[in-house]
Every structure is written in C-alpha cells, then in structure tokens.
Amino acid sequence: MSAIRFLDFFRSKKSTLENFAFLHTDMHSHLIPGIDDGAPDLGTSINLIRDLHELGFKSLITTPHVMSDLYPNTPDIIRSGLEQVRKALVQEDIDMPIHAAGEYLLDEGFATKLMAGDLLTLKGQYVLVEMSFIAATPNLDQLLFDMQTKGYRPVMAHPERYPYLQGDLKRYERLKDQGCLLQMNLLSLLGYYGKDVRQIAVNLMKAGFYDLAGTDLHHERHRMALQALVADHKAAKLLENYKWKNAQFFSQS
Ligand SMILES: [Fe+2]
C-alpha cells in the first residue's frame, strides 16, 4: 500500500463510538428555559432533551448558571423550572429522568450562598462550580477550603477552558489536591473551543486527571457538534478508553 493510500485508509476509518450511552448521565447542561444563556423557552428545552436522548444519554442533571449579577438563580427558581420541564416531558412522552443542580460561578456572591448552605448539588455533597474565563479567582484557595468545611465537594467545570491556568499540569494537580473533582466538556475534544483547549483536554486525559464528562449543552450548535464528536475517530478512541465516573456516580440517582 502506498503511503498516500495508507493515509486515506486511516483517515476514513470509522469511529467506533455509536453514541454517549457509555457515560449514562450527562451532568452539565443548560436546559431550564429562560433562566440563563441556555434554552430560551420550553419548546427549545424539550427539543434539546430529545436530542440528548437520541445521543444515548439515559439521565440528565441540568445545571443552570448561578451568577450574582447576570443570572441570580436560586434553588427555588431552578426547582420550579425543573417541574415545568418534567411536566412537558411527560406530555411529550419522552422517557428521560432529569434532575437539576446549579453551575456556580465562584464570584463575590458565592461565599454568602455557601455560608447559608443554600446550594443545589449534583448529588449528595457534589457541587458544580466554574471560574471566570478572564481572570483567576482571587480567593480560590479559601473558597475551596470553605466548601469542604461546610461538607460540600467541588466539581470544577471545564478546567481545560481557563486560559490563565496555561495548561500547566501542576496547577490542575493542585486543584485535585485541594479536593476538586474535574469535569471535562466533551466538545473540548472536538476542538470546539479551539486547538489549545483541545490539547489541554487531551493532556489532562492522559494524566488521568478527569473524573466526569459533560456536554455543557446550551443550544442547537452544541448538539450538532456533539454528533460530529461521535463520528470523530480520534476523539472517539480517547473517550472510550478513559475511565469516566459518570455512570458509577449517577446511575442510582
Ligand atoms: Fe455550563
């Protein structure tokens, strides 16, 4: 076989991944209508949930942003949105168990919510948190410590996406030492957020640093990219060979 024909063969090799059923639960998405930058209305929310069902997920924990200024969502606001979604799923005959938590930005208002013990968790004590994409959280060490003192366990959303961590494995190791679980965005592996983010995600996988994977689904473009990811031979191989804890974590939730 000539070198060119060999390359063609390699490139056309089909993905071994059929869907995301191997993860069981998607624990990061924005599907409560109208309360953050995710689904703007109930119809869109139901369509996106139907899409996740078709992509193989067996259950969902959807995680609206909680930000002091932009999206001041409370557990009550999130719970009432969840009830609306659940009712519509029954009406539409879509069999998808769905729970809701928050994706908490570690901003100036987070400590107050933490002290009040008023956080909506993924499951048990696990709380999904995110940091600014622009600047490092000044009191990060203290917040992570305080969370654990209050009995919570932080799950850091998409660590590969914070440019100021500069892909430095020592910084991620530190987050883990500080008690964080790390959650990769699936689309990072497709290069959806850029080449650098993809490379960091690959490096973190190789180091075995991730615990969980999530879609962080906001809209239709993400859904289309998730389909492209299933068909991507290289990404599929990486995903399948990694020991994700999603199923073990959430299958009994
Ligand atoms: Fe998110």
Cα 22 from Cα 7, distance rounded (Å):
29
Ligand 1: centre distance to CA 67 (Å)? 12
Q: Quick one: tokens of 200?
A: 């960091």
Give per-residue pLDDT as tens, 136-191: 999 999 999 999 999 999 999 999 999 999 999 999 999 999 999 999 999 999 99
Give per-residue pLDDT as tens, 76-99: 999 999 999 999 999 999 999 999
DSSP annotation of 32: S
* pLDDT number for residue 8: 53
Confidence of residue 10 (pLDDT cuts 50, 70, 90): low
Mean pLDDT of the region 181-207: 97
Ligand 1: centre distance to CA 3 (Å)? 43
Please answer whether residues 54 and 227 qualify as being in contact, where contact means their C-beta atoms are separated by less than 8 angstroms. no
Mean pLDDT of the region 124-145: 96
Mean pLDDT of the region 235-247: 93
Q: Is the pLDDT of residue 9 over 60?
A: no
Ligand 1: centre distance to CA 151 (Å)? 23
Ligand 1: centre distance to CA 214 (Å)? 9
* pLDDT number for residue 252: 61
Which domains can be identified in the chain, with CATH numbers? 19-250 (3.20.20.140)
Confidence of residue 15 (pLDDT cuts 50, 70, 90): confident
Dihedral of alpha carbons 38, 246, 127, 122, sign: positive
- Report DSSP letters for 130-182, one per residue: E--SSS--TTHHHHHHHHHHTT-EEEEE-GGG-GGGTT-HHHHHHHHHTT-EE
Ligand 1: centre distance to CA 216 (Å)? 5
* pLDDT number for residue 249: 86
* pLDDT number for residue 118: 87
Dihedral of alpha carbons 52, 53, 55, 58, sign: positive
Cα 243 from Cα 120, distance rounded (Å):
26
First to last CA, the chain: 52
Give per-residue pLDDT as tens, 43-57: 999 999 999 999 999
Rg (CA), the chain: 18
Ligand 1: centre distance to CA 31 (Å)? 10
Q: Which of 194, 196, 148, 137 is nearest to 171 (CA)?
A: 137
Task: Calculate what percentage of the chain has a pLDDT beyond 70.
Answer: 94
Class of residue 185 by CB neighbours under 10 A (exposed 0-12, middle 13-18, buried 19+): buried
Across-strand partners of 127?
154
- Residues with Cβ within 8 Å of 19's Cβ and at least 6 positions away in sequence, in order, are 54, 55, 56, 230
- The model carries a pTM of 0.93
Ligand 1: centre distance to CA 63 (Å)? 7
Q: Is the pLDDT of residue 2 over 90?
A: no
Ligand 1: centre distance to CA 103 (Å)? 6
Ligand 1: centre distance to CA 158 (Å)? 8
Q: According to DSSP H, which parts of the chain are helical? A: 3-12, 42-54, 75-91, 110-116, 140-149, 169-177, 195-206, 220-231, 233-240, 246-250
Please answer whether residues 153 and 147 qualify as being in contact, where contact means their C-beta atoms are separated by less than 8 angstroms. yes
Task: Calculate what percentage of the chain has a pLDDT beyond 90.
Answer: 88
Q: Is the pLDDT of residue 3 over 70?
A: no
